Each structure stands twice: as C-alpha cells, then as structure tokens.
Amino acid sequence: MTPELVLRAAGHTDVGRLRPTNEDAVLVSDELGLYLVADGAGGHRSGEVASALASRSIKNYFGATIRKTHDQPEFDRFGIPSGARRLSAAILKANRDVIEIAKSQPKHRGMGTTVVAACFSPRSGLMHVGHAGDSRCYRLRAGHLELLTQDHSLLADVLEQRPELDDTVLARLPKNIVTRALGIDPLLRVSMRSYAVVAGDRYLLCSDGLSVPVSAQALAETLGTNADLDAISKRLIELANETGGPDNITALVIECTDGPDKDSVPPPPPGVVAMARETESRADPELLILGIEELESLDADSASDDLLRALEGLVGRSS
C-alpha cells in the first residue's frame, strides 16, 4: 500500500529594502492542502489588495468545494486529475473577483497580481501546480533543483517566438513585464501541471523578489540544509535582502516528510480512458487542427490572439 502524503510547510513575506509597502501575499493552509504566493501590482496599495483578494478567493473556493472532492474520482473521464481542474477553477474564480473589484472601485482600477499555487492529492500522491505570471515553483529532489513553472513574461514569450534573437537584443527588453496575471483579462489562461510527490521532496513557491536576485545554486543550497522549514524560509528572504532587496520577497517552503519512495504516477483507471474514446465518432478525422479554417488567412502574430474565438465557433457548430 502506498504511504499517504504527509506534508509540512512554512512561509514568510518581507517588504524588501526599496519598496514602501509589501504587495506580496502568502497562504499556508495545511487543512486544505493548499499553498500559494501572489505578487500584486497597481500602485496606491492596490497591488496589496489584489494579492490578498486572490489568496482569499482561492482559499474560499477550496473550502467551498472540499465536500465535492470526496465524491469525485481522482481522474475525470478524460484522464485529467480532478485536483488540477479544481485548482485551475479556483484561480479563474479569483481572476474574476479581482476584475470585479477593480471595475467597481475606481481607486483599485488597474490592479493585478501574479499567482503560483500548489495543492496536493493524498489519494493519488500528486501535486498540482497552477500559475499565472512570473511567481515560481521549484522542486528540490535528491539535491537537484528543478524549476517546475515557466514565467509568463515578455522575455519568455519573445524567446518562444524568436529564439534566434541575439542576446544583446534580448538584454534591452524590459525585465518587469508579465504577460499573464489575475486582473488583466477575463479570458485568463492558467498554466497547470501535475507531478508525482516523493518522500523527501522540498518545494519552493516564491515571488520574483527572491528568484531574480538569488541564484539557483544559492536557492538549492539553502533548501537542502537540515534547518527547519521556518528557518529556511526566513534565510531565503535574508539572501534576497543581502543582494539589496530590490523588491518584495516571499518564500514558501513545503516538504513531503512521508509518501512514496519513488516517482510513480498512478494511471487513470482503464475504464476512464475507454469511456473517453467511446465518445469520439469513428467518422472524425485523425487530426483536427483547431481553427485552421478561421486562422489560415491571419498573420502568424495574431493567430494565438484569435484562438479562443476559433474555439467558440467550433463549440457553437457542434452544439
């Protein structure tokens, strides 16, 4: 029998050395298996409001849906982890809440927040990570530090489309522009991934106030020490402040103290995959490229912008 996940966590946030206020938020909810870091922006303390609102909204959603999870299978009919869908829905609900407050209160207009959140499913031994923006999730396993998220930033987006650009060109790009965040767009796309958890794993959720000034090597060395998690979180913040503390700093450390001893993701039950296949018509083409008819006449740069509209058209025709 696979050992059930046993987790412990500690998180702290700090204003840093140069900012007048702290617009970061950190959430540790062991009872919900939910952990979160949000980095707000917007001026006039609105960033602080956005990050706090996002944190509260996601926690409230998890609290309101906890009973429903007891009756849900670990994987849905398409083989997708139910916990991942739940976390994504919670982040999207928070996005709507931030937008609603920004629209209804002029003093908060233009506010937004990045978010990185992790939740754990004891039955499957999976950790689900959802994020929007450049707040990050790292995993330290057997001394190896791995970045589990990809920044939604101008630099990252440019590299996806133009990887051949010279470094001197990339160096001129603004470093503080994120391309996804809560409060920007009602049609927010949340990046979701699920990972098998192994006993001894340590995870770090952090704002860019930590990940930018502190090297990956220093993060790995500090996460790997034998100190308790509270001390590790505080030490990470000290490292950022020692480099000048140019931004608000948040570090949340999670450790799996008991669980599986190797990385093995339980597959969806065979009936789940079979059920999904039965819903597909044998007359369907082998491969359907979404929106190809609608987008073939558009410029490549605008194709991704029109993807959701193409999806809406596709759904409309099939309903």
> pLDDT digits over 149-159, tens only?
999 999 888 88
pTM: 0.84
| DSSP line for 225-292 | SSS-HHHHHHHHHHHHHHTT--S-EEEEEEEEEES-SS--PPPPPHHHHHHHHHTS-TTS-S---TTH
Residue type, 307: L
**Domain range summary for the chain, segments of one domain joined by +:** 6-269, 281-319
Q: Which of 7-11, 92-96, 202-206, 282-286 has the lowest mean pLDDT?
A: 282-286
**8 A C-beta contact, residue 244 and residue 10:** no
Hey, what CATH class is 6-269 in? Answer: alpha beta
Structure-model confidence comparison of residues 238 and 77, the more confident one: 238
Tens of pLDDT, residues 36-86 = 999 999 866 799 999 999 999 999 999 999 988 888 888 888 888 999 999
148 and 129 in contact (C-beta within 8 Å)?
A: yes
pLDDT band, residue 267 (cuts 50/70/90): low
Amino acid 68: pLDDT: 86
Token code pair at residue 191: 């990046």
* Residues 287-316 pLDDT 10s: 666 555 544 444 444 444 555 555 555 555
pLDDT at 126 over 70: yes
Residue 310 has a pLDDT of 53
Q: What token pair was written down for 151?
A: 């920044």
Token representation of residue 3: 């050992």
Q: Which helix (H) or strand (E) covers residue 137, if one does? A: strand 136-141
Burial of 186 (0-12, 13-18, 19+ CB in 10 A): exposed
